[in-house]
A = this chain, B = another copy of it.
Amino acid sequence: MGVSLKDVALRAGVSVKTVSNVVNAYPHVTPETRARVQRAIDELGYRPNLTARHLRKGRTGIIALAVPELGNPYFAEVAGAVIDAAALHEQIVLLDHTAGLREKEALVSQGFRAHLIDGLILSPIQLEAEDLLARTGGPPMVLLGEREYDAPYDHIAIDNVAAARAAVRHLLDLGRRHIAFLGARQESARQPAHLRLRGWRQEITASGGVARDALVAATEGYDRRDGAVAMAALLDRGERLDAVFAYNDVVALGAMRALSERGLRVPQDVAVVGFDDVEEGRYAAVSLTTVAPDKHEIARLAVDCLLERIAAGSRQAAPPPRRIRPGHRLVVRESTAGAGRRF
């Protein structure tokens, strides 16, 4: 059905090689030949068949991005940034979501769609190091996010401990002394929020305070409902608290909702800090103070890194696995300072 190189060659009266040369902007073609071929291309409405090209070249120009949940605006925003970053390199993004399920994450990391994709950017939540070690073959992979592994893969993540410490520092500077952490998983052993929790602990301890486990609230997942439920549970337990540092923005937003249902004011009664800087937090009734990772830098680094790995795939010297730290900053808004900036 489609028009092939051969059809164009026939029409232009040249070989397919010459048409291919024109299509691929190969420099050494006489202007006359080029013009003749171009005319044939236009007349026939020829479009290169990417599948065939890919089969031949062994690369597809497609990279996969697997995030836990598109319903979490942080991942939606990152996905958008990755699509844009990839487009700069004429790469297309195949999007997958894992629901934060270990099996799904493992499946994806195992090269679920190998041969279809040149590489994979994975943002794991539950994946364990052993899953990664079990990985054999499969295309190049770059990891994103807080989880860290002793496995030979590039990892792009802001300094989560430092960022968490800065957030807690900010609350301490405000005079808050009873700072809860919201968003630890139930099972203490496998703790995705490990680094942020550690930052919370370290900063409180460094300030001479006591990081009380009773102020660490477990959640099942990391969405708004989890935040609301955990916050309510903490309040029901009668814990005394004057601040909350949440694992991420949506958990923080859910918590704020629970606070207001209890008649507690933010920030007067309880100051709240989130993590992610999603658009939504800026327009909340009380705008949300948050740790803002540079999402565009994260996306750019992830794509660049992955493409580098893909290019190196054929050659000998691949660089050793890297840990790359994009920038981040604390954005102070109303949820910690009545007079903070609004947006």
Contact = CB atoms under 8 A, between A and B. Distances in A.
A239 interface: no
* 5 nearest A-B residue pairs (beta carbon): A285-B285, A76-B76, A70-B80, A224-B283, A95-B95
8 contacts: A45-B136, A50-B113, A69-B80, A83-B97, A93-B95, A94-B94, A95-B95, A253-B283
B282 A285 contact: no
Interface stretch (A51-59, A120-128, A149-157): A51-59
A77 B73 contact: no
A190 to B, nearest CB: 25
Interface residues of A, number: 55
A217 to B, nearest CB: 17
Given A224-B279, A224-B282, A77 B83 contact: no
A79 B70 contact: yes
A283 B254 contact: yes
The count of identical subunits is: 2
Interface in A288-343: 342-343
Interface string A239-262: 000000000000001101100110
A71 B276 CA distance: 13
A47 interface: yes
Nearest to A92: B94
A228 interface: yes
A286 interface: yes
A48 interface: yes
Interface string A92-116: 1111110000000000000101111
Contacts of A172: none
A130 interface: no
A270 interface: no
Nearest to A280: B280
A97 B52 CA distance: 26
B54 A280 contact: no
A15 interface: no
Given A50-B115, A62-B94, A76-B73, A45 B283 contact: no
Contacts of A83: 70, 95-97
A223 interface: yes
Given A73-B76, A224-B282, A285-B257, A116 B92 contact: yes
Contacts of A96: 83
A113 B45 CA distance: 14
Given A73-B71, A73-B73, A47 B115 contact: yes
Contacts of A76: 70-71, 73, 76, 79
A137 interface: yes
A60 interface: yes
A282 B137 CA distance: 44
A284 interface: yes
A27 interface: no
A80 B68 CA distance: 11
A2 B115 contact: yes
A49 interface: yes
Nearest to A69: B80
A330 to B, nearest CB: 21
